[in-house]
């Protein structure tokens, strides 16, 4: 086989060629790493949003199963004397309720995870979130309907690391 003399003289890469190759490799590596990192953070965000949706929806169901008015007749917003989440008996008892993030210890050194109504902590996938409930009075007088409807706009916000992932709103009519 004939070898062209110019090629025959070449052995390996010149310093410039090696430098160019190394630079291209570095740029490609950085681009691939960035794409991988973006993909990872995208799927983490998707997972967290799904968990946050579950936490918002289950809490909304828990609130909406209750009657609007307190059976004892109290009308102040928020829990009535002696009431805790497991014994809340009307919608507004949940006003200003908050739970999570689960890595905060109280004065007794106990963690405060997000739990179901019975106090059982949800699995790890659902921890690390902060779930807050706010309620605002609303009223409307639909045209042609001779009465005013009053209720509470229930807003459940679920956030993680200070970023709100899900905001779920429903109106509980009186």
Binding residues for Ca ion (CB under 5 A):
70, 80, 89-90, 93
Q: How far is the CB of 110 from Ca ion (least distance, A)?
A: 26
Q: 165, 49 in Cβ contact below 8 A?
A: yes
Q: Strand pairing partners for 134?
A: 155
Cβ distance to Ca ion smaller for residue 85 or 170:
85
Half-sphere exposure in the Cβ direction for 133 (13 Å, CA)? 28
Cβ distance to Ca ion smaller for residue 48 or 93:
93
Cβ distance to Ca ion smaller for residue 48 or 70:
70
Q: How far is the CB of 135 from Ca ion (least distance, A)?
A: 13
Please name the residue that has the structure tokens 């019975």.
118
Lay out the sheet containing 98-99: strands in order across: 98-99, 129-140, 149-160, 163-173
The residue of the chain with the least Cβ separation from Ca ion equals 70
Q: How far is the CB of 78 from Ca ion (least distance, A)?
A: 9
């Amino acid at each position: 086989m004939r070898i062209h003399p110019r090629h025959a003289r070449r052995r390996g890469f010149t310093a410039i060629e090696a430098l160019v190759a190394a630079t291209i490799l570095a740029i490609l590596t950085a681009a691939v790493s960035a794409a991988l990192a973006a993909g990872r953070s995208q799927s983490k965000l998707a997972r967290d949003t799904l968990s946050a949706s579950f936490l918002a929806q289950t809490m909304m169901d828990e609130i909406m199963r209750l009657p609007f008015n307190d059976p004892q007749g109290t009308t102040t917003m928020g829990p009535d004397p002696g009431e805790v989440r497991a014994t809340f008996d009307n919608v507004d008892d949940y006003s200003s309720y908050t739970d999570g993030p689960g890595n905060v210890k109280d004065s007794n050194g106990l963690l405060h995870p997000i739990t179901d109504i019975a106090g059982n902590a949800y699995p790890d996938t659902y921890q690390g979130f902060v779930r807050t409930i706010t309620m605002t009075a609303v009223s409307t007088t639909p045209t042609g309907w001779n009465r005013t409807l009053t209720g509470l706009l229930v807003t459940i916000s679920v956030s993680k690391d200070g970023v709100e992932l899900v905001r779920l709103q429903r109106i509980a009519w009186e």
